[in-house]
């Protein structure tokens, strides 16, 4: 491969193994086995194992186009460096919940990192019936730390401005701006839905009250640099077991509104309760624990370590948390809608084999999304959020 020239070309199983050897990552190894395991929308992922030992690692490489669509959709390779730098920073801030990066090369768009194959992608695990008893408190803790320590409350002004510049990520933000905050609300060619949902999609495109609120949420996403976000924190970006949780894939990282990461977690848990009405209480509990862990952790950090001159002002912390919650509820609504009729779907819904049940679940996701967007200012807590979901799910 062209590692010597240090110019980009997509890795193969053979050249990925050669790269690992050339980096000295398997000294004296009797031999390696390599497998391409990437099942996401955008990248190549190789697992490299040493024969006869437990040693293994992951080499991830960005492709210059969106794999989910094909070469007609070019995509910057810079995202690999953004992802590697975000992983390194998030590892410092929330070490228990982030894999270790061993090496990265911006030119080759390659990141070498810890192999997490003892864990399962949590979307796959949830669909298979795993309960992941600690995932929600872990994610709350992870977001309390990453959001607080990259916000104006946890950082000095110049440090925050520098980080915001380092994580300038316009190309990946544009994907989110289009796929989450525009296309699903219009008859856009990127939308993708079963024909039976056409009338539901058209109703949404003609829903001016919904569009006005979606426009407001889009404006928040475009303009509010509150904290360094993961930017794509769905359950496919989270590895889990009963005891461990690791957040991967922050290639969409950028300075944005804190509620976006929070809302992505909430929406992707909600897909499980929408797809499985029998699971609703259990998912509600997860969302409640998640928000308690986030708000509790954020509050502790605020009281210990706040750099803002108004930190002690009565009412300021509750107002900040209220803003995060309200945005999160609205952003969760946008995620429910886009994963149902937009370009990128979720297996929680698409995987429902029975056609009528699948359509019912998708209609419930659209109705829930609409309600969360429209009612976000009135939804006071997780209990009210759950009520809204159970109303649309029982229709
Ligand atoms: C073209 S990328 C489609 C989706 O995959 C990523 O994981 C993001 O969620 C993006 O919206
Ligand atoms: Mg991803």
Q: What is the pLDDT of residue 70?
A: 85
Let me know: does 345 contact 339? Beta carbons within 8 Å: yes
Q: What pLDDT, in 10s, does the model give residues 39-85?
A: 877 899 999 999 999 999 999 999 999 888 888 989 999 999 999 99
Residues with CB under 6 A from ligand 1: 41-42, 66, 68, 175-176, 179, 232, 343-344
Let me know: does 50 contact 29? Beta carbons within 8 Å: yes
Mean pLDDT, residues 312-329: 98
Torsion sign (Cα): 24, 26, 32, 33: negative
The ligand with the least distance to the CA atom of 339 is 1
Q: What is the rounded CA–CA span in Å between residue 104 and residue 78?
A: 12
Q: How far is the CA of 51 from the centre of ligand 1 (A)?
A: 34
Q: Is it the case that residue 3 has pLDDT exceeding 70?
A: no
Question: What are the residues facing 238 on neighbouring strands?
Answer: 247
Nearest residue by C-alpha to atom 8 in ligand 1: 232
Torsion sign (Cα): 42, 227, 382, 306: positive
Mean pLDDT, residues 267-276: 96
Q: Which of 232, 251, 254, 260 to mutate to test the pocket of ligand 1 (most atoms within 8 A of CB)?
A: 232
Index of the ligand 1 atom closest to the CA of residue 249: 7
The ligand with the least distance to the CA atom of 38 is 2
Q: What is the rounded CA–CA span in Å between residue 83 and residue 253?
A: 7
Q: What pLDDT, in 10s, does the model give residues 117-164?
A: 999 999 999 999 999 999 999 999 999 999 999 999 999 999 999 999
* Backbone angle region of 49, left / alpha / beta, with phi > 0 → left and psi within -120 to 50 → alpha: beta
Lookup result for tokens 């229709």: 395
Q: What is the rounded CA–CA span in Å between residue 117 and residue 21?
A: 21
184, burial (CB in 10 Å: exposed 0-12, middle 13-18, buried 19+): buried
Q: Is it the case that residue 329 has pLDDT exceeding 50?
A: yes
Q: What is the rounded CA–CA span in Å between residue 182 and residue 203?
A: 15
Phi/psi for 391 (5° steps) reads -65, -45
Q: What is the rounded CA–CA span in Å between residue 280 and residue 386?
A: 8
Q: What is the pLDDT of residue 219?
A: 98
**How far does CA 119 lie from the centroid of its chain?**
17
Nearest residue by C-alpha to atom 6 in ligand 1: 41
Q: How far is the CA of 48 from the centre of ligand 1 (A)?
A: 26
30 vs 263: which has the higher pLDDT: 263
Q: How many CB atoms lie within 10 A of CB 11?
A: 24
Question: What residues contact 115, with CB distance under 8 A and at least 6 apart?
Answer: 47, 56, 57, 58
Index of the ligand 1 atom closest to the CA of residue 40: 7
| Neighbour-count burial for 75-99, b at 16+ CB within 10 Å, e otherwise | bbbbbbbbbbbbbebbbebbeebbb
At 394, is the pLDDT very low, low, confident or very high (cuts 50, 70, 90)? low
């Amino acid at each position: 491969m062209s590692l010597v020239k240090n110019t980009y070309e997509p890795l193969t199983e053979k050249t990925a193994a050669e790269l690992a050897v050339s980096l000295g990552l398997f000294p004296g190894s009797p031999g390696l086995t390599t497998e391409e395991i990437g099942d996401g929308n955008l990248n190549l992922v190789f697992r490299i194992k040493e024969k006869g030992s437990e040693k293994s690692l992951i080499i991830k490489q960005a492709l210059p186009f969106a794999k989910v669509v094909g070469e007609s959709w070019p995509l910057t390779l810079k995202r690999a460096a953004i992802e590697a730098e975000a992983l390194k920073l998030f590892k410092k801030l929330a070490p228990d919940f982030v894999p270790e990066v061993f090496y990265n090369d911006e030119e080759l768009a390659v990141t070498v990192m810890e192999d997490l194959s003892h864990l399962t992608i949590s979307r796959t695990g949830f669909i298979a019936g795993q309960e992941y008893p600690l995932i929600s408190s872990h994610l709350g803790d992870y977001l309390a730390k990453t959001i607080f320590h990259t916000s104006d409350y946890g950082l000095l002004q110049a440090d925050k401005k520098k980080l915001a510049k380092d994580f300038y990520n316009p190309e990946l933000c544009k994907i989110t701006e289009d796929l989450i905050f525009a296309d699903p609300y219009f008859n856009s060619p990127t939308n993708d839905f079963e024909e039976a949902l056409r009338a539901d999609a058209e109703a949404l495109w003609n829903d001016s009250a919904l569009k006005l609120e979606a426009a407001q949420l889009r404006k928040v996403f475009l303009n509010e640099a509150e904290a360094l976000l993961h930017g794509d924190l769905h359950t496919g970006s989270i590895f889990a077991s009963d005891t461990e949780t690791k957040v991967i894939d922050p290639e969409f990282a950028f300075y944005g509104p804190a509620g976006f990461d929070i809302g992505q977690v909430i929406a992707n848990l909600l897909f499980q309760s929408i797809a499985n009405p029998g699971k609703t209480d259990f998912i509600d509990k997860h969302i409640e624990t998640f928000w308690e862990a986030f708000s509790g952790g954020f509050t502790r950090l605020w009281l210990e370590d706040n750099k803002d001159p108004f930190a002690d002002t009565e009412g300021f912390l509750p107002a900040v948390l209220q803003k995060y919650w309200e945005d999160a509820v609205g952003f969760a609504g946008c995620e429910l809608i886009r994963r149902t009729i937009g370009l990128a779907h979720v297996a929680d819904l698409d995987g429902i084999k029975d056609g009528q049940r699948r359509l019912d679940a998708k209609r419930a996701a659209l109705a829930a999304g609409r309600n969360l967007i429209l009612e976000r200012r009135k939804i006071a807590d997780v209990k009210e959020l759950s009520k809204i979901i159970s109303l649309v799910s029982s229709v």
